[in-house]
Structures are given as C-alpha cells and as structure tokens.
Amino acid sequence: MTEPLKPRVSVGYGTGNPAAAPNYRPLNPWGRRMPPAERAPRPELWQIIVTDRRDRKQVRVGPQMTKECLSSLFHAIRTEIVSGRETRWSEPMLVPMSAPALLA
C-alpha cells in the first residue's frame, strides 16, 4: 500500500514558510504599528557672504554646503580680496544658514 504524498513545502496561511523564503518571518507579526524609521540628522549648511563695495549690500557667494566643503572656497576668496585682485568684494564671512539674523 502506498502512503499519501506529503507536500514538500507548507504554503498555507500563517505557516511562515512561503516557497521563496523557507525561514520567512514577517517584520510586524503582531499587527502593531511599525516603529518610525531612524534617519540621520541633516548636516548644518553654511554659505559664504561678502559685502559689495559699490552699494554695501551683502551678496551670497557659492552654494549652501557643509563647513568643511566651503572652507577651501572661503580661503580662496579671502586670499583674492587680501591680495587686491578682487576689488568689488570685501569682508567675507562664513555664515550658518540656520541663523537668518546674521543676513539682515
């Protein structure tokens, strides 16, 4: 007498073993709300601001980036102003963009 065939993979509801992933366990097995994703904080953005000598207005130069990325551009602009090659700008500043009071 032959025995009935056994299924090779249990794919029934709630078995936790679908055919594609034999050790599958759902991320949220109890039906509760999933915890929020933890994200890295945004980096603080800085920008270079110079004063235009003609009308004494502040001019933003370059993109808003992290302080480490802007430091070489800031030193290059400052060197150009100090050496006298740049005559239109003065007073370069590296300002955090989270402080709008400095831009007034």
What residues does 51 pair with on adjacent strands? Answer: 58, 90
More confident residue, 77 or 100: 77
Q: For the whole model, what pTM was predicted?
A: 0.59
103 with 58: CB under 8 angstroms? Answer: yes
Amino acid 53 reads: R
Q: Which two tokens stand for residue 97?
A: 């963009």
**Res 101: pLDDT:** 47
> Which tokens belong to 6?
């056994």
pLDDT greater than 80 at residue 55: yes
